[in-house]
Structure 1
Amino acid sequence: MAFLIGLTGSIGMGKSTTAAMFAEQGAAVWDADSAVHRLYSRDGAAVGPVSDLCPAALKDGGIDRAELSRWVQADPDNLSRLENVVHPLVAADREAFLAGTSADVVVLDIPLLFEGGHADQMDLAVVVSAPAELQRERVLARPGMTPEKLDLILSRQMPDAEKRARADVVIGTETLESARRSVVNLMQDIRAGKHARSGSGH
């Protein structure tokens, strides 16, 4: 049975980069955002049920995320309607990935690891973190990002300090070198049996 790492971190903290470093060390990596992308693509499992909720989002056999985003913002209840449809499909995608991998360590990249109650199912909860100024600098360098948009995103995410407090391991991403060193050391420790399983029954 694979050792399960739940990986999370706020926007701009370097989560995707860190996930790639785990993959370099032989971990199998499942990404919740990529799963949603698959589900929304042409013939994806979410296309039918989501387009039933929001017919305008159906475009070229897939889901138009911009249209779906407008629909979600139009009514406060729409987000929970969407989540009720999509979350079980994402969970099924994750279970299929776990069933199909033979890796000894699996990293589940889940943005809402704590908010969604997923941390309890992991052997280890890992949070990537960087100073707030560096986070802002990274995110504001992205195309189309504004300080207002960033503030809105951050207001919807669990604060970084709270994530760090709830983490089993915090990986600092101030530099690529320090992050990679932390990942290499953590993978060595896990394979040496220095991290006990949580016994969460997966």
Structure 2
Amino acid sequence: MHDDPARRRPVIALTGGIASGKTAVSDRFAGRGASVVDTDRIARDVVAPGSDGLAKVSAAFGPDVIDDAGALDRRALRRRIFDDPEARARLEGILHPLIATRAREAIDAATGPYVILVVPLLVESGLFNDTDRVLVVDVPESVQLERLTARDGVPPDQARAALAAQAGREQRLAVADEVIDNTGTLEVLDEQVARLDREYRGLRPGV
């Protein structure tokens, strides 16, 4: 994922279902010196007020998806695309290239021994299929539902709908090179990250 192979760092795509604990995992890798590139954050940046991305979204979906402060009205946009696959595809066609470009720029600028590229919708989007490894943060769907309803205050029907909108657990595990089981204690999570940190530091890009 780097134009100059001699300078390239190993890139590990980190993915997982909603409420699986991806941020807890990526934060631990960052604490060990890895460079973290989070496409969720990039997705927000590319539609920031005044951005070219926001202008393209407004042109495609109309002024109703822009709030009075000139920012993206995410709730209004979700309503537009929720039951409309064509609208969702149109939005992805606008945002995915912008996200991919910004992510690759961040990867090129990384200074850590390896890069953790956080891509929540790795399976669904088809983006970043040239990373060196894929790391899946895994929990049973029952745990995802419990966390969404108890921790985030999401009603059960909305929690189930959120899970249904993503790739299934089996689909994610099918593309995994490594898996972190995030159903245990934080100490167990730390141990898993420490082990993978040692492994990733020994990776050669492209292998």
TM-score, with length taken from structure 2: 0.88
Q: Which whole-Å CA distance do the structure 2 matches of 1:183 and 1:113 have between them? A: 20
Residue matched to 1:107: 116
Does residue 181 (structure 1) correspond to residue 191 (structure 2)? The answer is yes
Tell me the C-alpha RMSD between the 2 structures. Answer: 1.7
Which residue, 158, 161, 176 being the options, matches 1:149? 158
Q: 1:135 aligns with which of 131, 141, 144?
A: 144
**Distance in 2 between the 1:144 and 1:45 partners?**
34
Correspondence 1:98 to 2:84 = no
C-alpha contact 2:10 2:204 (8 A) present in aligned 1: no
* TM-score (norm: length of structure 1): 0.90
For residue 80 of structure 2, what is the aligned residue in structure 1?
71
Give the match for residue 50 of structure 1.
57
- What is the aligned partner in structure 2 of residue 122 from structure 1? 131
Separation (CA, whole Å) in 2 of partners of 1:119 and 1:182: 24
Deviation at 1:20, TM superposition (A): 0.6
Supply the AA of the counterpart residue of 2:177: D
Instruction: Indicate the SS of the match to 2:82.
Output: helix
Task: Find the residue that maps to 1:52 and give its secondary structure.
Answer: helix
Are 2:4 and 1:4 equivalent residues in the alignment?
no
Equivalent position of 1:162 in the other structure: 171
Q: Which runs of 5+ in 2 are unaligned?
A: 1-7
Q: 1:27: Cα distance to partner?
A: 0.8
Q: Aligned residue pairs: how many? A: 197
**Aligned-pair identity (%):** 32
What amino acid does structure 2 have at the position aligned with 1:10? G
* Counterparts of 1:190 and 1:137, CA distance in 2: 32
Secondary structure of the structure 2 residue equivalent to 1:107? strand
Unaligned stretches of 5+ residues in structure 1: none
Whole-Å Cα distance in 2 between the matches of residues 18 and 66 of structure 1?
A: 28
SS class of match (2:49): coil
Q: How far does residue 159 in structure 1 lie from its aligned partner after superposition?
A: 1.3
Q: Name the amino acid aligned to 1:57.
A: V
Aligned to 1:21: 28
Divergent runs of 4+, >6 A = none
Find the aligned partners of 1:6 and 1:22 in 2 and give their Cα distance. 12
Superposed displacement of residue 82, structure 1: 0.7
Alignment match, 1:85: 94
Q: Structure 1 CA distance, aligned partners of 2:30 and 2:122?
A: 19
Q: SS where residue 62 of structure 1 aligns?
A: coil
The aligned runs of 1:23-38 (5 Å cut-off) are 23-38=30-45
Cα 1:75/1:58, change in 2 over 3 Å: same
CA contact (8 A) 1:119 1:125 kept: no
Structure 1 contact 41–61 (Cα < 8 Å) conserved: no
Question: Structure 1 residue 74: deviation in Å?
Answer: 5.9
Contact in 2 for aligned 1:124/1:198 (Cα 8 Å) = no
* Mapped contact 1:35–1:90 kept (Cα < 8 A): yes
